[in-house]
Amino acid sequence: MSDSSNGAANLLGDLRQLEDLIKQIEAALSVQRNQLRQHRLAMPSSVLTSFSNLQADFNRLESDVLAEQTELRQLRALSDMAVRMTNSLDADTVLAETMELVILLTQAERGYIILTRDDSDQYDFRVSSESGMLGVSSPDGSPPQISMSVVNQVINSGEPLLADNAYQDERWSDSQSIFNFTLRSVLCVPLRFKDQSIGAVYVDNRLVAGIFTERELTLLVAFANVAAVAINNARMYSRAGQILAEITRVKELMDNIFSSVGSAIIAIDSNDLVHTFNRAAADILNLAPDTVLGRQLERVLQKAALQLGEELQLVKEGDSDHTLDLVAELPGRGPVALSLSFSPLKDRSQMTQGVTLVMDDVTHLHEHETTINAMKRILPEGMVDQISEIANIEMGGMRREVSCLFADVRPWTTLPDVAPSETLRILNQYQAIATSCIHDTGGIIDKYMGNEVMALFNTQLNPDEQHARQAVECGLLMRDRFLQLYSELGIEPDPHFYIIGIFSGVATLGNVGSFRRREFTALGHSINTAKRVQENARRGSITIGQATLDLIFLHKSQPPYEFIPREPIYGKGLSAGMHAYEVQRIA
């Protein structure tokens, strides 16, 4: 027991002793007065008056001491409740326990803590204590039978309310709930936090009137002040918990996203410390995340044999994005092609607080591009660029009108007697010119045949309705560039070396071969005829068949060519002879 409790007990003991002593004195005076009466004597009136005053003073003293003891007990209980409420984040449990004590101290029958709702005009009965003689007033879970008029006034005004006898109080003559519920003593105080009413504490007694005094009002106001802080703390703690849970959920989601992203993501702060290093970054750089996080990026990149200091500094100073492609020798992986993107990491004030580095391993793309470039040196460029379309063409092929060009770039009889390697070098000079001319005019190379090349126009891969004119333009361009080559070599062949033949007609185009090895080509009478035209052409000439000439004039625009008739061409399928023409540019 504390010193204050001992002092209170001693004081009450002294009062009891004084009370006994007064009773003894009163008994003695009564005996003395009777004895005096027997001798026909009277006791002085001043003695009786003094004793009556003494009794009155003692009664007042006893009443004051008991009141002070009651108030002291209430203050101690309030202090204990304040400690418990402010030290606990489970406000509902603490408030329910302390509400029982409030009812006991105020001699109330029922007590409630009522909170407002942010999303509606309804109230939330957070704590209910109903243990009075009349029992629980709302066993079905419905709102308790209390005066909501009182509650509304207290919450809206922010002022406490004390009704000694609410049933007969003129202030509540219009309140039907006061009469319906036969309320006697009512005490209600607001719950206020930062000058805002968040609810009310309500106690009443349906049996006894005038049970609440200013002392109970003061007690309940103090309790409400502490309860408002406890409730707000609990709300803040709940919101903090919700925010933390949401942050955790978002972080887990971001971690999952970063982990699943195929690109490496590395984020550093203003001190160049690594804060984000996803799984793709670990795989690309062959580094474990636990050896990277929280460390200087420069050391991390040095360990991965990457020198990116200049790029990072450029992003920081320029406050702008930056990209970089490089091939690096990474430890444990060998040569790796990387595509890098640097972006400044900014805060809400748009101040740069770090850098985000996104890294993609493009080694397979780099290797693919290298392979494609190598294939273009060997295969026709149109076929390489549209390799997927070629693969989808049926093995059986399809019939289509095309123009076919055969070119003998350097007849064997014109080649010098040199080593085979030198012969191949000379042929490559001429074939390179023929190849560039075919590509420049939209043709596709079907095949190389030593010193000859075959080109197609208007296939599925290079459709053009003016394919006949395209083929003629290709032949004339070959002539111009061959003349340029002759000049560079310092030779004047007479006649020129090239022999070019062109014919237009329907052919079957498609893939031939097997599933593992196939080749795109054209077959048919028109292809064979184009070869016959080339074989029957003069050296240094560009010769076309009648069908090609007809297609050229099918369009209204006058072609800038001169067509010189020559003797008919005979051969397989050409027994009647086919008209042919040599083509020259109009000067």
Q: Residue 136 pLDDT more than 50?
A: no
| Dist. CA 166–CA 209, nearest whole Å | 8
What does the pLDDT read at residue 392? 55
**DSSP 3-state of 47:** helix
3-state secondary structure 528-557: HHHHHHHHCCCCCEEEEEHHHHHHHHHCCC
Place of tokens 């009647």: 576
Residue 170 has pLDDT above 60, yes or no: no
Q: What global pTM score does this model have? A: 0.42
Q: What is the mean pLDDT of residues 308-325?
A: 78
State the average pLDDT over residues 554-574: 82
Residue 166: the pLDDT is: 47
Supply the mean pLDDT for the chain. 77
| Residue 430: pLDDT band with limits 50, 70, 90 | very high
- The answer to whether residue 112 scores a pLDDT higher than 60 is yes
User: Are the C-beta atoms of 279 and 296 separated by less than 8 Å?
Assistant: no
Q: Is 165 exposed, middle or buried (0-12, 13-18, 19+ CB in 10 A)?
A: middle
Q: Summarize pLDDT for 350-400 with one digit per residue, the tens.
A: 787 888 888 888 877 776 676 666 555 544 555 555 555 555 555 556 889
Structure tokens at 332: 């444990």
Dist. CA 345–CA 271, nearest whole Å: 12
